């Protein structure tokens, strides 16, 4: 059993980043609601607790609070932003609105006698994001950092192992922030650093074998990162007992279906590729509304999966690539009843399975990718970019036809190939068939052909994003190749809209 660092969530946007940073420092972390009681925490026996940030003001009556008894458990506590304010407020300090709020990178001074700041220097830059501040510390606390406008940018009560930082050490914008987190884990909490992905593999293999025995498991394999890694892990645990159904709806990227089939051909599983391109394309013929497209494609996916599952006979277990953020967003562990929010996506409720297996449900996305690499999956799968379930069907504006799919598929391939040569790549990039046409000139002839839009973004959470500032040289090279290699494209444009107000996808 790994040591546990508990992250109590008060609505902070960086809660997952905190937990991932802790895991990156070889300590297992879990996120629980901020209201988790002291008795439950005592039973979990964590080596430390981190209180996250949040959007509220701690002094308001309806502000989220923690069980005050957690400060008397003898377990080290680190409060971050709202977490620091909450701790100070509940222990008798004063929190009030700032005369001048702090946002962004701010210069700070540290008391290097503090164990948190040992070895980082007396000056540094931290990321601040607050409109309230601690104006008076509780009894027994001392101030350990300050900024121009925040006299208590950090504080601590060493005798009770209680620490607070007004800034965010979990983000890259804070100098030595990772070092501060490491100091809390190892110098304060006494962590041994016993969390390894190799151990996770061994633990899950043992659990899967105990649960499944000699029975069979069915996995709906989309070819995405999560379901692919889930397939590889199950194949290792129960070789010969896994059936994977991969429905190729015809909206995949260039050669993607073949790459997925090739990646799983050598594994000890029953890989079933259902080539259903014609039936999917027929179902959305003439449909232009993006929501109708999605619903029709989701329904047809369910129909195909239902047909294929029926051919395989009785299989008691359904496997899913559910990962930890899915559970966090759901507010708790997902139940065994199959519902539309499960990763297999909109399956009929009358599909009979005794139990759902989710072997990745304790991992974040970056850990899933690393696990896939350890299990021998190729980079084409483990580093796969986010891809909508309906695939290229929602990257073709308006009615979807085979010709339009071929155009956007080739344009996307060219863009990915060129960006793949860059040293610093955006987090996500793809091409869009805009549904508009434009006058052009090719040779001595006037053309009136398709307009392709390029989209490339940088994001840490895929909830917000900024467009990637690709160089003009790169964009010129992509545009030149697309217009030269795809005869029916006359113009290429670059989308420079961030999210919000736009979304990452066009539909």
Q: How many Å is the Cα radius of gyration of the chain?
A: 26
Show the tokens assigned to 503: 């979304």
The residue from 81, 189, 230, 244 that is catalytic is 81
The burial class, CB within 10 Å (0-12 / 13-18 / 19+), for 293 is buried
Degrees, nearest 5: CA angle 380-386-390:
105
Q: How many CA atoms lie within 13 A of 30 on its CB side?
A: 17
Task: Using alpha carbons, select from 320, 318, 298 the residue that is nearest to residue 226.
Answer: 320
Whether cis (ω within 30° of 0) applies to the bond prior to 472 is no
The residue from 3, 102, 156, 170 that is catalytic is 170
Strand, helix or coil for residue 8: strand
The residue from 168, 244, 249, 367 that is catalytic is 168
Other beta carbons within 10 angstroms of residue 172's beta carbon come to 11
Beta sheet of 4-9, edge-to-edge order: 28-33, 4-9, 48-51, 77-80, 162-165, 154-157, 142-147, 94-110, 123-136
Task: Using alpha carbons, select from 158, 218, 150, 190 the residue that is nearest to residue 27.
Answer: 190
Whether cis (ω within 30° of 0) applies to the bond prior to 435 is no
- Chain position carrying tokens 């988790």: 36
> Quick one: angle between helices 402-419 and 472-485, nearest 10?
150
To the query of whether residue 465 is one of the catalytic residues in this protein, the response is no
The Cα-based distances of 279 to 7, 249, 250, 276, 478 in angstroms read 47, 8, 9, 6, 33
To the query of whether residue 168 is one of the catalytic residues in this protein, the response is yes
How far is it, in rounded angstroms, from Cα 310 to Cα 359? 24
Q: What are phi and psi of 86, to 5 degrees?
A: -65, -45
To the query of whether residue 170 is one of the catalytic residues in this protein, the response is yes
Contact 473, 459 (CB under 8 A): no
The set of catalytic residues is 81, 168, 170
């Amino acid at each position: 059993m790994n040591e546990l660092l508990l992250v109590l969530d008060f609505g902070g946007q960086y809660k997952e980043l905190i937990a991932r940073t802790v895991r990156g420092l070889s300590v297992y972390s879990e996120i629980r609601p901020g209201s988790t009681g002291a008795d439950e925490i005592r039973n979990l026996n964590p080596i430390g607790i981190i209180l996250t940030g949040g959007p509220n003001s701690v002094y308001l009556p309806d502000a989220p609070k923690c069980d005050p008894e957690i400060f008397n458990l003898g377990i080290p506590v680190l409060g971050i932003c709202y977490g620091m304010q909450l701790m100070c407020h509940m222990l008798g300090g004063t929190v009030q609105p700032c005369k001048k709020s702090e946002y962004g990178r701010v210069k700070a001074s540290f008391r290097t006698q503090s164990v948190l700041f040992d070895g980082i220097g007396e000056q540094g830059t931290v990321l601040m994001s607050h409109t309230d501040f601690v104006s008076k510390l509780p009894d027994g606390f001392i101030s350990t950092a300050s900024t121009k406008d925040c006299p208590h940018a950090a504080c601590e009560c060493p005798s009770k192992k209680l620490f607070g930082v007004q800034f965010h050490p979990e983000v890259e914008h804070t100098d030595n922030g990772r070092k501060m987190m490491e100091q809390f884990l190892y110098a304060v909490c006494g962590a041994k650093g016993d969390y390894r992905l190799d151990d996770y593999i061994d633990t899950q293999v043992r659990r899967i074998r105990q649960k499944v025995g000699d029975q069979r498991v069915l996995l709906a394999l989309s070819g995405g990162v999560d379901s692919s890694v889930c397939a590889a892990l199950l194949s290792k645990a129960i070789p010969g007992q896994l059936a994977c159904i991969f429905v190729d709806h015809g909206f995949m990227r260039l050669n993607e279906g073949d790459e997925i089939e090739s990646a799983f051909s050598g594994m000890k599983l029953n890989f079933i590729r259902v080539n259903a391109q014609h039936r999917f394309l027929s179902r959305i013929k003439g449909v232009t509304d993006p929501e109708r497209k999605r619903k029709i494609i989701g329904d047809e996916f369910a129909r195909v999966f239902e047909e294929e599952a029926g051919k395989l006979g009785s299989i008691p277990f359904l496997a899913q690539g559910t990962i930890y953020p899915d559970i966090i967003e759901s507010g708790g562990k997902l139940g065994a009843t199959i519902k539309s929010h499960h990763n297999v996506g909109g399956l009929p409720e009358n599909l009979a399975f005794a139990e759902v297996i989710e072997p990745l449900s304790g991992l974040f996305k970056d850990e899933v990718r690393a696990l896939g690499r350890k299990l021998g999956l190729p980079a084409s799968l483990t580093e796969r970019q986010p891809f909508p379930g309906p695939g290229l069907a929602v990257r073709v504006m308006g009615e979807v036809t085979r010709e339009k799919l071929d155009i956007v598929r080739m344009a996307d391939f060219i863009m990915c190939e060129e960006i793949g040569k860059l040293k610093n790549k955006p987090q996500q990039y793809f091409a869009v068939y805009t549904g508009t046409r434009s006058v052009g000139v090719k040779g001595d002839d006037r053309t009136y052909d398709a307009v392709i839009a390029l989209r490339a973004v940088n994001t840490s959470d895929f909830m917000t994003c900024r467009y990637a500032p690709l160089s003009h040289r790169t964009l010129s090279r992509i545009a030149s190749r697309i217009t030269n290699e795809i005869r029916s494209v006359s113009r290429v444009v670059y989308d420079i809209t961030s999210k919000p107000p736009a979304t990452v996808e066009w539909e």
